[in-house]
Amino acid sequence: MPGTGEYDYLVTGGAGFIGSHLCELLLARGAGVLVLDDLSTGTLSNLDGCSGNSRFRFVVGSVLDEALTRGLVNQSRKVVHLAAAVGVENIIRQPVETIETNVKGTENVLMAARPGMTPVFIASTSEVYGKSESVPFREDGDIVLGATSRSRWSYACSKAVDEFLALAYWKDKGLPVVIGRLFNTVGPRQSGRYGMVLPRFIEQALAGRPLTVFGDGRQTRCFSLVYEIVDAIASLVDNPEAVGKVINIGSTQEISIRELAEKVRRISGSGSEITLIPYDEAYPDDFEDMRRRVPDVSLLSSLIGKVPEADIDTIIREILGR
């Protein structure tokens, strides 16, 4: 049974890029929304569209604060746990903070939710598939991670532990949990300062600087518009058939990073050149990358009857405001 708190949803990491869009959606649907965010990567300006709403409350703090987290969960009927370390560059340079935030923070949320059986949505990531070559990635496919000496995989491993922990709470304690593996979510308000490729390209194009493509540019990704992603999250949170499941959430439209740079340059009207930068110049020595990252979204479709469909040209124009 859902909790009986005064707020319909607690959104951890709600001042972040995805979290702020989710808060706007939930408020637009008439829900009461409580946000917990330590503002380490999120910003208050992301929540400008929420402030002033009588059904919205923001609390500055961390999911690492067990007592604070417990108190806010007790005030909420459902929890959407988005708080996590963000961005490849940030993760490589701060591996200890990455592991502590992701694992301990998720543990605190689940422990707080257990007494009242408060439903929890855990945001995971396509990174957990690691170096798997079984494309498209299925939720029941094997995970293939790199060596522990490569800190790049600490994020993937920590999120995999989050999934194991959440599913253990479901199987052993009966806590209703839903796990969503997000694939390259992009859109307005996303920052490029933590290594996110599309906002970085757009910032570079608008400034007339070279668009820096790391590696050979032939690695591919599937980009999803944030509005479609938060709609899917909201639908899954309220779907009892999703409980106890791991679900890919993303687009299946694959594009190379070099082609992405070319599209940004064309659509923005920029005269910037495209520059290839070897990985060993862009990242520390222990960096590894995935060549392809494509989800199988058949489970998502069966649960909510839709999947993210916005094409990359539409996404780029939305970010540019055109």
| Nearest partner of 25 among 38, 40, 14, judged by Cα | 14
Task: Specify the length of the chain in residues.
Answer: 322
Burial state string for 51-77 with b = 16 or more CB within 10 A and e = fewer than 16: eeeeebbbeebbbbebebbeebbbbbb
Q: Which single residue is written with the structure tokens 């791991």? A: 246
Measure the CA–CA gap between 187 and 191, rounded to whole angstroms.
Answer: 9
Measure the CA–CA gap between 214 and 211, rounded to whole angstroms.
Answer: 10
Q: Is the bond leading into 136 cis (omega within 30 degrees of zero)?
A: yes
Measure the CA–CA gap between 209 and 204, rounded to whole angstroms.
Answer: 5
Query: Pairing mode, if any, of strands 211-214 and 120-125?
Result: unpaired
Question: Which of 7, 9, 129, 155 does the annotation list as catalytic?
Answer: 155
Q: Does residue 155 carry a catalytic annotation?
A: yes
Half-sphere exposure of 40 (CA within 13 A, CB side): 18
Measure the CA–CA gap between 262 and 4, rounded to whole angstroms.
Answer: 50
Catalytic residues: 155
